[in-house]
Amino acid sequence: MQTRPLKIDGAWEFTPNTFADDRGFFLEWFKAEVFAETVGHPLTIAQANHSSSATGVLRGVHFAKVPPSQGKYVYCPKGSVLDVIVDIRVGSPTFGEWDSVLLDGRDRRAVYISEGLGHAFVSLEEGSNVTYLCSTGYTPGAEFGINPLDPELGLPWPSELTPILSDKDAAAPSLSEAAELGLLPTIKECQQFYAELRG
């Protein structure tokens, strides 16, 4: 498995080795030892999610209160999505910046998004499936969103697609509004939490 740090500190890309023959293929899309060596701590899996999305469905930008927030290891076994990681940590040198990775059923990459980062993706194909390994379960009242169409963020959604958002995501505040409301984590809070995870 190959790994690559993304532009946003706290996010990584994982590319598995695929073994294919005339019967099909086999791969290991998550390896605990590779993850821990790359990220600096193990991933405690508290919940596994699975979504299927029509073309143009845009989910996010989602994040949760730190601590504990929610680390996510995201994989697309079928179809394709453009996955976007946003640095929403107040005080971070890359605050408001983003990076993106194409996740699909061909190259079969995965991404890990550390606690305190924002996460979103858009489905590029009909029936794109995404699975998430999550470090914590869903916590009502501690999970928030930023509007993925916020022009301040300028996220790289394909212009040829008409984005389809949930009512909740469409009504989410902009990055500036979320900051004014005190919803965003700080880089200090996140770094303290990462240090605890590393022991």
Give the tokens for residue 50: 């699975």
CA atoms within a 13 Å half-sphere pointing along the CA-CB vector of 183: 22
User: Residue 194 catalytic?
Assistant: no
CA distance 33 to 10: 17
User: Alpha helices of the chain — where are they, by DSSP H?
Assistant: 32-39, 167-170, 175-180, 187-198
Give the tokens for residue 146: 């930023």
Q: What residue ranges in 124-197 does DSSP mark as E strands? A: 128-134, 143-145
Indicate which residue of 62, 112, 119, 194 is catalytic: 62
User: Residue 132 catalytic?
Assistant: yes
- The DSSP call for residue 151 is T
Indicate which residue of 73, 75, 112, 132 is catalytic: 132
Residues with Cβ within 8 Å of 83's Cβ and at least 6 positions away in sequence, in order, are 74, 76, 100, 101, 102, 103, 111, 119, 120, 121
Which residues are annotated as catalytic?
A: 62, 132
